[in-house]
Amino acid sequence: MNTLITGFNLIMILLIGLLYVFTPKLLNRYLLFGVTVNDDILRDESTEGIKKQYRILTLAVCFLSLAVYAGLYLILNKTSASTVFIVVLAAELVIDDLIYFHAHYRIKSVKRRLNIPVSGIKTIDTREVQEFSVINPLLYLVYFLLIGGVVFLSLQKYPDLPEKIATHFNADGIPNGFMHKSWKALLSLPAMMFLFSLLFMGINTALKRAKKVSGTAKGKLSFSQENRFRYLWSIALYLSGILILAILSAAQFTIIQIIPDRTYIVPISLGGSLLMILMILGLTVYTGQSGSRLKQSKKETDIVDRDDDAFWKGGIIYVNRKDPSVFVNKRFGIGFTVNFGHPVAWIIIAVIIGLSVYSII
Amino acid sequence: MFIRIDLNSEETLYSQLSNQIKYGIAKGYLKPGEDLPSVRGLASELGINLHTVAKAYNRLKEEGIININRSRGVKVSKQVLTNRGTDYETILHGKITKLVSEGICHGIEKDEFMQMVEKIFDGLEGEQK
């Protein structure tokens, strides 16, 4: 069973490493490493060098992380495998971020050297200021029906459970954590499922509203691309939620002994997670950020976006007090981020942190 | 229609916005009765303050150019090309007086001015139909 987890961990390290390598390919070409650029910057000699350096360094980090994880796994005691995994993964992320920042500041210095004026001009199409299409929020009722079913079965099974119930299992399905039989012990997983559902519903709404940031000097990002991107991602979000709920339900059924064979729980959760990651990765490659890789409709619009670099700290954190949007599309990476200049953004961050802390405790 | 806003311009953002909408209507890009974005939608898309957009919309509403309705949203007024509004001639007279005086200060002749106005009219109305 340990080899299964190790294999999964190796795949995770590989995929995350590759995601960094290929992120620039998924973005609009006029947003290079989080900097608004124009054709002059793109044609500059040093730009090609910066891109190449980023590619080589991130690729090196990816394979180095794989080697370090495999090496440490063989040298160290196998029981510390999960700690080693977390440390290696964290190191990989931090180093890749540093490589990104390095590229970001180098592109910025090219921009300064070429003396590109900061454009304050932005054009929008009044017919395209509307909400994006996402799946019907009523579909999320399925989530709550599922949770209701799990709670119902748990309550039915409650009288038959022993005084001490196993709540945590190791990789081989042998229980290593116990709790006294109580309502709290029984319902903590369903409560987590409930909070997850709320979070996913929230993200679905954010997908509908998040502002598109084409961020292009000479942009041709069409509304239809962005709209299709949002719709596909809202489907993926919904399916991911179903997978997470299924994994957590399987765990709950193991705890309340509806599934007697505990050895299934690890393959189920690993398989489910892998399926989810592959789906997200596939969609990432298919759509690109803001649908930049999707086919463009014939009617392109000459939307020009102003140079918002001053509001993007490090090209990653958006702080603009005047902008009433809470969610905005990311510049470097897939998905969206929040406007830290908006008070609602801070509330959302607090809720998400609270939720993660709750699920760890 | 496209709205073009320049943050670095000396003209205030709300007057840029209302002038752009008037230009769009005059040019025929915006039809009478057509939907306009909500205050929040437009502010969010342009990344500018809600109050700026609200101010521009309120001025346009006072001039009878757009209608703002809680349930039906913001629309270009149906009577926009036909309804003059009270005292509009006086307002226009005042504005043209300013422009003509300024032109005279810069040595613009009467014929030149009239030709310019004619050209602008033709350019805008040419695309209306």
Instruction: Identify the DSSP state of A58.
Output: H
pLDDT at A304: 62
CA atoms of A81 and A85, how far apart (whole Å): 6
Interface test with B, best of A118, A129, A311 (most B CBs within 10 A): A129
Domain boundaries, chain B: 13-76, 88-126
What is the rounded average pLDDT for all residues in chain A? 83
Q: Is B12 on the interface with A (CB under 8 A)?
A: no
Domain boundaries, chain A: 120-303
Taking each helix axis from N to C end, the angle separating A223-255 and A265-287, rounded to the nearest 10 degrees, works out to 180
CB-nearest to A130 from B4, B24, B41 is: B41
Beta-carbon count within 10 A of A280 CB: 19
Residue A216: pLDDT above 60? no
CB-nearest to B47 from A129, A301, A308 is: A308
Residue with the bigger pLDDT between A29 and A105: it is A105
Residue A217: pLDDT above 50? no
Residues B50 and B39: beta-carbon distance below 8 Å: yes
Contact A126 B43 (CB under 8 A): no
CB-nearest to A322 from B1, B37, B48 is: B48
- At residue A338, φ and ψ (nearest 5 deg) are -105, 160
Q: CA A34, A40, A42, A47 torsion: positive or negative?
A: negative
The answer for B 48-107 residues in CB contact with A (under 8 A) is 48-50
CB-nearest to A120 from B6, B36, B50 is: B6
Contact B45 A127 (CB under 8 A): no
- Token representation of residue B37: 């974005």
Q: What is the pLDDT along chain B (129 residues), one digit of tens a residue?
A: 788 888 888 899 999 999 999 999 988 888 888 889 888 888 888 888 889 999 999 999 988 899 998 888 899 998 888 887 778 889 999 999 999 999 999 999 999 999 999 999 888 876 554
pLDDT band at A219 (very low <50, low <70, confident <90, very high): very low
Which SS3 state, helix, strand or coil, does residue B67 take? strand
The helix (run of H) or strand (run of E) holding residue B23 is helix B13-27
Percent of chain A with pLDDT over 70: 89
Interface test with A, best of B10, B38, B42, B46 (most A CBs within 10 A): B46
Contact B4 A121 (CB under 8 A): yes
Q: Which residues of B touch A304 (CB under 8 A)?
A: 4
Mean pLDDT of A173-191: 78
pLDDT at B52: 92
- pLDDT tens digit string along A114-142? 888 777 777 777 776 767 788 888 999 99
The CATH-assigned architecture of domain B13-76 is: Orthogonal Bundle (1.10)
Residue with the bigger pLDDT between B107 and A356: it is B107
Residue with the bigger pLDDT between A210 and A41: it is A41
Contact B1 A211 (CB under 8 A): no
Distances (CA, A) of A287 to A30, A43, A225, A334, B109: 17, 26, 9, 9, 59
Predicted ipTM? 0.74
- pLDDT tens digit string along A328-350? 888 888 878 888 988 988 988 88
Lowest-confidence region among A21-30, A177-186, B84-93, B98-107:
A177-186
CA atoms of B67 and B35, how far apart (whole Å): 10
CB-nearest to B7 from A120, A301, A302 is: A120
Q: Which residues contact A244 (CB under 8 A, 6 or more apart)?
A: A196, A272, A276
Measure A56 CA to nearest chain B CA, in Å. Answer: 36
Between the two ends of chain B, the Cα-to-Cα distance in Å is 16
pLDDT at B109: 93
Residue A94: pLDDT above 90? yes
Residue with the bigger pLDDT between A40 and B55: it is B55
pLDDT at B126: 61
The C-alpha angle B28, A216, B23, rounded to 5 degrees, equals 20
Mean pLDDT of A66-82: 80
pLDDT at A137: 86
Measure A21 CA to nearest chain B CA, in Å. Answer: 31
pLDDT at A54: 95
pLDDT band at A302 (very low <50, low <70, confident <90, very high): low
pLDDT at A271: 86
CB-nearest to B3 from A123, A308, A323 is: A123
Listed residue (A231, A325, A340) closest to A286, CA to CA:
A231
Which of A26-30, A142-146, A265-269 shows the highest mean pLDDT?
A142-146
Beta strands A317-318 and A31-32, pairing class: unpaired
Which SS3 state, helix, strand or coil, does residue A253 take? helix
The answer for A 117-176 residues in CB contact with B (under 8 A) is 118-127, 129-130
Beta-carbon count within 10 A of B27 CB: 15
Q: Search chain A and give the residue with CA nearest B30.
A: A126
pLDDT at A221: 57
